Amino acid sequence: MKENIEATGFDVLFNAALNKGTAFTEAERKKYKLRGLLPPGVSDPDVQLNRALQNMRRKHYDIERYIYLSALQSRNERLFYRLILENIQEVMPLIYTPTVGQACKEFAAIFRQPKGIYITAEDRGNVSEILNNWPEEDVRVIVVTDGERILGLGDLGANGMGIPIGKLALYVACAGIQPNQCLPVMIDVGTNNQEMLDDPLYLGLRHKRIQGEEYDALVDEFISSVQVAYPKALIQFEDFLTPNAYRLLNKYRNQVLCFNDDIQGTAGVALAGVYASTKISGVAFRDLRIMFLGAGSAATGIADLITYAFQKEGFTEEEARKKLWFVDIDGLVIQSRDDLLPHNLPYAHDHPAADFISAIKQIKPHMLIGATGFPGTFTQEAVKLMAEINERPALFALSNPTSRAECTAEQAYNWTQGRAIFTSGSPFEAVRYKEQYFKPGQGNNAYIFPGIGLGAVVSEASRISEDMFLVAAKTLANMVSEKDLSVGAIYPPLHNIRDVSLQIAVAVAEEIISSDLDSIRKVDNLQQKIEEYMYQPAY
Ligand code: NAD
């Protein structure tokens, strides 16, 4: 909602975009007819921010902090985003993982105010009408889920709405997408989660998920209605079940402006980590052999982007794939297996069967990338073996939350005598190993997707290409400083996130402009234009 100078009184105070609460000055109180509607003391904005921060901190549980922050977002948007931006390390885990997982589980119980659009299986034929009920006309970023695979928590049905809400808050905080241009969407097709169906508080459709043609038709109607209502909007698919995630991405990626963050965003952030790790290991990117533990959507998405990156180095697709190996719950992914899913087949090599340890011995990878969802799967034996084979073994324990990481930061350093290049999907505390101090970085998708979105929005892209994720990954890796590397971090500190998103957006926009994708606008002073667009949560 744009600054509405016509609004007065409660129309200002109860409008989150306009409200400044106790920070309205005397002159503003007069101008907006607020005198008498607020306590007489005028708060300095810094004092007001500090009050909000203290209120958040005095809560006893993170879920209470989440509820507090959600209410603040509904009450005073600028204060909410300033609080996030100035305390990003502390607040990001509260508005996104891990707390958002808890918030989704309890979504119905803690529900206060609607944020976003619900499209249900009963709305077939009327989706446009529903989108028209949204009060904003210039939506640029939509995050949509059907709630079937929420983080590692499975099918949470309509409770999954917490995810689009959280991701869009990160778009605004990390990249400065304008809040009024963001739209969270829940496509509610029911849930197979009996606990939800039995919960009297549950707010979604109370039946099992519709699937097949009916499901596809609803998603299709949603996508086409968005093209009419918001033709410039970027659609981010989020937390769909792996087969649907791939199917929808492959169906729409060449038709509309969209991407899937679980597949492509994860891939971008992991590839940036791979690039940065070579600065420590000294192994050239083109010489890398990489082994994945886990062969689901996260790992395969990473491998697909790395394949593409290798191709850009001059390898054929086949040569590139031969450098990438997968081990899943049933062992090495090889051609002779008959239990593989379609997305595994390009990486199924001609090789004898092997378990994880034998596979490491035979293939001698430079790095392990774990995306299993199961803790302890980078065993001591596996990590020690990696340290025998490599001077600086890279260990990416990407499973979320922290308790699910394939190994801990401490284990990685202890089992390799401090030689591991470690990163994880969720944060770990700093580790001391003998005289060495390590502060490993977190491969957080928030490094990539907000910048991609910003670049696409400002340059009015028509499609999201693999090249955009490639340049985003390279840009992110180039922002890792010697200081970061000296403590084992292969990502820049999170407090630099706005600058990271800006640089990624510039690189992505340049990529859009220089590529053959259509609807390209020539933009002078790209960085300045992007900076001018970015939302600043200041009064
Ligand atoms: P998925 O269910 O699609 O795939 C899991 C894979 O792990 C399967 O191939 C399975 O066979 C394999 N696996 C399970 N247990 C194993 C074991 N003991 N040994 C070997 N393989 C095993 O899941 P997904 O969507 O790919 O997500 C996997 C994990 O990746 C999740 O924990 C998620 O939190 C994490 N993830 C992290 C990021 C990030 O860090 N940025 C992003 C997305 C997903």
Percent of the chain clearing pLDDT 70 (strictly above): 98
What rounded mean pLDDT belongs to the chain?
Answer: 95
- Residue closest via CA to ligand 1's atom 36 equals 399
CB contact at 8 A, 152 and 140: no
Distance CA 238, CA 221 (A): 18
Pocket probe mutation, ligand 1, options 357, 400, 448, max atoms within 8 Å of Cβ: 400
Distances (CA, A) of 207 to 193, 202, 289, 464, 495: 10, 11, 47, 35, 43
The pLDDT of residue 217 is: 98
Q: How far is the CA of 398 from the centre of ligand 1 (A)?
A: 8
Q: How far is the CA of 370 from the centre of ligand 1 (A)?
A: 7
Q: How far is the CA of 247 from the centre of ligand 1 (A)?
A: 18
Which letter does DSSP use for residue 211 in this model?
-
CB contact at 8 A, 30 and 41: no
Nearest ligand 1 atom, CA 242: 3
Percent of the chain clearing pLDDT 90 (strictly above): 92
The pLDDT of residue 521 is: 58
Mind giving me the DSSP string for 269-337? HHHHHHHHHHHHH---GGG--EEEE--SHHHHHHHHHHHHHHHHTT--HHHHHHTEEEEETTEE-BTT-
As beta bridge partners, residue 187 has 119
Q: How far is the CA of 372 from the centre of ligand 1 (A)?
A: 3
* Residues 360-400: tens digit of each pLDDT: 999 999 999 999 989 999 999 999 999 999 999 999 999 98
Residue among 341, 295, 345, 351 nearest 321 (CA): 345
Give me the CATH code for the 264-445 domain, please. Answer: 3.40.50.720
Structure-block tokens of residue 380: 């001591």
Q: How far is the CA of 89 from the centre of ligand 1 (A)?
A: 25
pLDDT at 37 over 60: yes
Q: H-type helices in 397-438, by residue range?
A: 409-415
The pLDDT of residue 516 is: 57
Nearest ligand 1 atom, CA 425: 40
ω into 440 cis (within 30 of 0) = no
* Residues 224-265: tens digit of each pLDDT: 999 999 999 999 999 999 889 999 999 999 999 999 999 999
Distances (CA, A) of 97 to 8, 132, 142: 38, 31, 19
Q: What is the torsional sign of CA 443, 283, 503, 471?
A: negative
pLDDT at 193 over 70: yes
Question: Is residue 437 annotated as a catalytic residue, yes or no?
Answer: no
Band of residue 334 on the pLDDT scale cut at 50, 70, 90:
very high
Mind giving me the DSSP string for 104-144? HHTTTTT--S--SEEEEGGGTT-HHHHHHTSS-S---EEEE
* Residues 84-108: tens digit of each pLDDT: 999 999 999 999 988 999 999 999 9
- Considering the candidates 96, 252, 413, 447, report the single residue annotated as catalytic: 96
Residue 532 half-sphere exposure toward CB, CA atoms < 13 A: 8
The strand ranges marked E within 155-263 are 182-188, 234-237, 258-260
Q: How far is the CA of 53 from the centre of ligand 1 (A)?
A: 35
Higher pLDDT, 519 or 85: 85
- Residue closest via CA to ligand 1's atom 40 equals 425
Torsion angles phi and psi, residue 186, rounded to 5: -115, 120
| Residue 58 burial (C-beta neighbours within 10 Å; 0-12, 13-18, 19+) | exposed
- Considering the candidates 20, 66, 105, 167, report the single residue annotated as catalytic: 167
Q: How far is the CA of 294 from the centre of ligand 1 (A)?
A: 5
Q: How far is the CA of 401 from the centre of ligand 1 (A)?
A: 12
H or E segment and range at residue 145: strand 141-145
Q: What is the torsional sign of CA 58, 63, 64, 69?
A: positive
Nearest ligand 1 atom, CA 328: 21
**Could you tell me which residues come within 8 angstroms of residue 317 by beta carbon, excluding any fewer than 6 positions away?**
307, 311
Q: Which long-range contacts (CB under 8 A, 24 or more apart) does 432-439 make?
A: 437/487, 438/409, 438/413, 438/487, 438/488, 439/487, 439/488, 439/489
Pocket probe mutation, ligand 1, options 329, 355, 403, 445, max atoms within 8 Å of Cβ: 329
Band of residue 401 on the pLDDT scale cut at 50, 70, 90:
confident
The pLDDT of residue 1 is: 41
Q: How far is the CA of 297 from the centre of ligand 1 (A)?
A: 7
Pocket probe mutation, ligand 1, options 237, 305, 328, max atoms within 8 Å of Cβ: 328
Asked, colleague to colleague, whether 10-90 and 264-445 share their fold, the answer is no
Pocket probe mutation, ligand 1, options 305, 372, 490, max atoms within 8 Å of Cβ: 372
CB contact at 8 A, 141 and 236: yes
**Could you tell me which residues come within 8 angstroms of residue 210 by beta carbon, excluding any fewer than 6 positions away?**
121, 189, 190, 218
Which of 147-156, 195-204, 304-313 has the lowest average pLDDT? 147-156
Q: What 3-state DSSP class applies to 370?
A: strand
pLDDT at 517 over 70: no
Torsion angles phi and psi, residue 236, rounded to 5: -105, 115
Q: H-type helices in 323-448, by residue range?
A: 356-363, 380-389, 409-415
| Residue 318 burial (C-beta neighbours within 10 Å; 0-12, 13-18, 19+) | exposed
pLDDT at 218 over 90: yes
Torsion angles phi and psi, residue 133, rounded to 5: -75, -20
Give me the CATH code for the 10-90 domain, please. Answer: 1.20.1370.30
* Residues 231-241: tens digit of each pLDDT: 999 999 999 99
Domain-wise residue ranges, the chain:
10-90, 264-445
- Residue closest via CA to ligand 1's atom 44 equals 298
Nearest ligand 1 atom, CA 301: 26
Segment 215-227 shows an average pLDDT of: 98
CB contact at 8 A, 469 and 452: yes
pLDDT at 277 over 90: yes
Distances (CA, A) of 175 to 179, 197, 295, 341: 11, 37, 31, 36
Nearest ligand 1 atom, CA 373: 32
Nearest ligand 1 atom, CA 269: 41
Structure-block tokens of residue 456: 């696409």
Distance CA 424, CA 443 (A): 6
Band of residue 523 on the pLDDT scale cut at 50, 70, 90:
low
* Residues 448-496: tens digit of each pLDDT: 999 999 999 999 999 999 999 999 999 999 999 999 999 999 999 999 9
CB contact at 8 A, 253 and 463: yes
pLDDT at 3 over 80: no
Which of 4-13, 30-39, 145-154, 515-524 has the lowest average pLDDT? 515-524
* Residues 286-314: tens digit of each pLDDT: 999 999 999 998 899 999 999 999 999 99
CB contact at 8 A, 52 and 21: no
Question: Is residue 96 annotated as a catalytic residue, yes or no?
Answer: yes
Nearest ligand 1 atom, CA 149: 25
Which letter does DSSP use for residue 44 in this model?
P
CB contact at 8 A, 317 and 352: no
Which residues are near ligand 1 (CB < 6 Å)? Answer: 152, 242, 262, 266, 269, 293-299, 327-329, 371-374, 377, 398-400, 404, 425, 443, 445
The pLDDT of residue 297 is: 84
ω into 45 cis (within 30 of 0) = no
CB contact at 8 A, 396 and 423: yes
